[in-house]
Amino acid sequence: MPSLQISTTNDLSNFLNSDSYNQFVSFLSSLNSAVKGISLDHHDHDHDHHHAQQSPKIIKDIMSVFSANIDLPSDDQLILMHSTGASNNLHSFHSFQFKLQKILRKLMLDVVVVVVVVGAEELIGELSEYFFRSFGDTISSPLPLPAYSVEHELHFLAWTFCLSKIGIINDGDYIPLVSIVFVKYFHIIKKIMTTFKVQHSDGDGDSYPAYPHLPFLWGSSSLIGNDQVKPATLQEDDYDYDKDKYLFFPSAADAKARGAEAVLNFMIKLGLDTITWQEVNEGIFKDYTENIMGDMSIMNHFLTGSIIHF
């Protein structure tokens, strides 16, 4: 089973110099390159369903897991929750986690058709842990509250990386993996944030590592070659450009609405300091692989095991 093994700066250094880290970064780079110049129609759920049905079986299987098993409150339940305060939000979030944990093994078996071999149970357990860690946690600041940060997004990326390492996902799946699966994941995370009034800052009040970063990475990649809108547009506080096709601008609008100013300001600065979306994308990729994955406060929450190890 994966565990928290990065507890010192020396551990982190060893991880960053490991083959697993290099392979992980290579996987991230491949996903990033796969959607270069490709629009991501992330708002149209009929579009999601239609394209999932035309995608490789693994993409269909993952989307089926999402649609059938990520159990979030109805609109009526949501109104009741928010009217009864933070304690009910926390209770409902714990209920969501409990239900998800109960069916984790089945979910992983739905995605991974495992031939009965030595270590199969351990493999399912490992995948389950990464998947479960992808949907938030609780923090104490000073009272227990639902929380989400880039470390949870990182675990979802790790889950897909593990699927690729064991041969379930291959490079022919990369475009739908990003444009369908990750986009659906981002949609679910936004709903979780809204539903449970999730906290977006760490204990020090820093919103930078507390908001998803991959939508900006994939979003900037999809804008490469687009001459109709420039990166400097970000400073104009207008995020409506083709919002149904490009993930970057809706993500910027959402970050602003949720008060994740540190992330938004970083993206705006990148837009001002660069001329092309290629440069913006390279800046985000460098930041993610060096600063996010090199941040001890993030990586000491990151699981490593038999697939990702150092």
Averaged over successive runs of 10 residues, the pLDDT of the chain (310 residues) comes to 94 98 98 92 45 66 75 59 61 86 85 61 90 87 77 96 92 93 90 78 52 92 90 73 75 85 87 91 96 94 95
Please report whether residue 145 resides in a domain: yes
**How many whole angstroms separate alpha carbon 53 and alpha carbon 8?**
45
Does residue 255 form part of some domain?
yes
Rounded distance between C-alpha atoms, residue 246 and residue 170, angstroms: 24
Asked whether residue 127 is domain-assigned, the answer is yes
- Report the alpha-carbon distance of residue 164 to residue 61 in Å, rounded: 15
Asked if residue 199 lies in contact with residue 210, where contact means CB atoms within 8 angstroms, the answer is yes
Strand 144-147 to strand 137-140: parallel, antiparallel, or no bridges (unpaired)? antiparallel
Examine residue 28 and state whether it is found in any structural domain, yes or no: yes
Angle of the 120-132 helix axis to the 86-102 helix axis, nearest 10: 160
Q: For residue 203, give its domain range.
A: 18-304
pTM for the structure as a whole: 0.88
Residue 109 domain-assigned (yes or no): yes
C-alpha angle 286/288/293, rounded to 5°?
115
Residue 183 domain-assigned?
A: yes
Number of C-beta neighbours around residue 246 at 10 A: 22
Question: Which of 149, 151, 222 lies closest to 183 in space, CA to CA?
Answer: 222
- DSSP H helices, 54-182, are 57-69, 75-83, 86-102, 104-111, 120-132, 150-165, 174-176
Which CATH number do you get for residue 129?
A: 1.20.120.1150
Distance CA 55, CA 57 (A): 6
> In this structure, is residue 26 part of a structural domain?
yes
Which pLDDT score, from 0 to 100, does residue 158 have?
A: 98
Measured between alpha carbons, how far is 258 from 260 in angstroms, rounded to an integer?
6
Tell whether 12 is covered by a domain. no
- Count: domains in the chain: 1
In this predicted structure, what is the pLDDT of residue 110? 80
Q: Find the radius of gyration of the CA atoms of the chain.
A: 19
